[in-house]
């Protein structure tokens, strides 16, 4: 392509973002170059600001401008409840749902023999330290995948001797879900966990 190497490099880096392939990265680069003042320059600045300001929380692993993060230091949140998630994205999802008013612990992934993710590569040691300090309930909010559930079982075994209440998220029919479109695993889980009205 007879274009400057600056454009090529921009496209190559954009193509490494999730959700953008080589073709959509080209489209994105063109839009950026056309909207130089309102998009390209502000986005470059926002990235530099984020790179300078955002860091992982030393306590829970959340990403924030301060460490410990604003969730860990929020006095209105219940310090006795700890929700363990695989990833910061899961923490954000739970915060958007506004369903949990305790604190979080981000593992940084899930156990996976295939990908070589062992317990040592996850933020497990810090979790065992944290639960010693006045935690009453640990909620294991892993993904409902093989890796997530393996991780949940592993953590349940580890936490068994600590005298804690350990819970996990309910599995069942998603709200708004139609039975016809659900897989057998979900239907079976929903059936087994049926409740009296």
Which residues of this chain interact with a second copy, rule CB under 8 A?
1-4, 6-7, 9-10, 13-14, 16-20, 24, 26-33, 36, 39-44, 46-51, 53-54, 62-66, 69-71, 74, 87-89, 92, 95-96
Partners of 139 in beta bridges? 83, 167
Shortest distance in whole angstroms from residue 193 CB to a second copy:
28
Give the residue carrying structure tokens 């990403």.
63
Q: Which is nearer to a second copy, 66 or 146 (CB)?
A: 66
What is the 3-class SS of 104-163, one letter each residue?
EEECCCCCECCCCECHHHCCHHHHHHHHCCCCCEEEEECCCCHHHHHHHHHHHHHHHHHC
Q: Which is nearer to a second copy, 16 or 192 (CB)?
A: 16
| Angle made by CA atoms 194, 196, 197, in degrees to the nearest 5 | 120
Shortest distance in whole angstroms from residue 12 CB to a second copy:
8
Shortest distance in whole angstroms from residue 69 CB to a second copy:
8
Contact 151, 107 (CB under 8 A): yes
SS3 44: helix
Within 13 Å of residue 121, how many CA atoms lie on the same side as its CB? 10
Q: Which is nearer to a second copy, 19 or 196 (CB)?
A: 19
Shortest distance in whole angstroms from residue 189 CB to a second copy:
25
Q: Which is nearer to a second copy, 52 or 179 (CB)?
A: 52
Q: Which is nearer to a second copy, 71 or 173 (CB)?
A: 71
Shortest distance in whole angstroms from residue 89 CB to a second copy:
5
């Amino acid at each position: 392509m007879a274009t400057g190497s600056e454009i090529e490099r921009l496209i190559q880096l954009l193509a490494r973002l999730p959700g953008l392939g080589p073709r959509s990265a080209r489209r994105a680069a063109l839009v950026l170059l056309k909207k130089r003042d309102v998009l390209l320059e502000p986005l470059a600045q926002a990235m530099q600001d984020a790179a300078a300001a955002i860091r992982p929380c030393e306590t829970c692993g959340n990403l924030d401008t301060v460490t410990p993060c604003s969730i860990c230091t929020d006095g209105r949140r219940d310090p006795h409840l700890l929700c363990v998630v695989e990833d910061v994205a899961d923490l954000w999802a739970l915060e958007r749902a506004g369903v949990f008013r305790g604190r979080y612990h981000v593992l940084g992934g899930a156990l996976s023999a295939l990908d070589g993710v062992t317990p040592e590569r996850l933020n497990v040691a810090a979790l065992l330290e944290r639960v010693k300090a006045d935690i009453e309930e640990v909620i294991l909010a892993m993904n409902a995948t093989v890796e997530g559930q393996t991780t949940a079982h592993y953590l349940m075994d580890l936490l068994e001797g600590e005298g804690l209440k350990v819970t996990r998220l309910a599995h069942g029919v998603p709200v708004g879900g139609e039975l016809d479109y659900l897989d057998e695993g979900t239907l079976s889980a929903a059936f087994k966990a049926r409740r009296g009205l």
